Amino acid sequence: MSDPKIIVALDYANAEAALTMADQIDPKRARVKVGKELFTRSGPQVVDALVKRGFDVFLDLKYHDIPNTVAKACAAAADLGVWMLNVHTLGGGAMMSAAKEAVGNTSDSPILIGVTLLTSMDKQTFDQIGLQGTMTDTVVRLATLAKNSGLDGVVCSAQEATPLREQLGQDFQLITPGIRPAGSDRGDQHRTMTPQQALAAGSHYLVIGRPITAATDSMQALLDIERSLED
């Protein structure tokens, strides 16, 4: 596939386990995500190993700090050869603009996206931390700020993809975790959709972890999801 829509979440505690799983996946048919635990334990070496295996790597570290610190971290991530990385939109416009300037805006630059509200967040948590308005309005507001700050897209729940697509256009990238094929365990995700629903709602890329990585045959599970998207 020239533009695989599925990003497999390599949520493992060490590089050996992550690379063992990656070796079961065709890099032409999926991208992979490296998150906080794996990167903290295994460092840039695991990203390098995945890139050398031919994978597009989404480095999911959600940078959130003062603009100068985030800019330097994003530049370092770009030097690793990642395909995509993210910052947290709650860091504000100046932070996001600095991050975009640091990674550049050429065809070789990584895609830079912003995290809006975590897909594990429910209304009770939203109210608990004192955010105002509805969750959807907050996501749209943060995503609009991200676009105005030069970012290429956002991480969001698939449930917010339609209003984001309507307001921010077709080219603004929407990356949606919390994707669960029909019949899958929801786990700790609250705002979920099936892969078919998410693409129909306007998502560009789908982050899928356990339904693939916990399957007896991970590549077959990936192919089954691909087939469901074609249907």
Known binding residues for substrate are 11, 33, 60-69, 119, 180, 189, 209-210
Q: Of the listed 5, 23, 56, 65, which one is catalytic? A: 65
147 is catalytic: no
Beta bridge partners of 57: 32
Task: Write out the E strands in the chain.
Answer: 6-9, 31-34, 57-63, 84-88, 111-115, 153-155, 173-176, 205-208
62 is catalytic: yes
Q: Of the listed 60, 100, 147, 152, which one is catalytic? A: 60
Q: Of the listed 5, 26, 36, 62, which one is catalytic? A: 62
Is residue 9 within 8 Å of residue 208, measured between CB atoms? Answer: yes
CA angle (174 as vertex; 104, 140 as ends), nearest 5: 100
Known binding-site residue numbers: 11, 33, 60-69, 119, 180, 189, 209-210
Does the CA dihedral 218-30-74-44 come out positive or negative?
positive
36 is catalytic: no
Query: Could you list the active site residues?
Result: 60, 62, 65
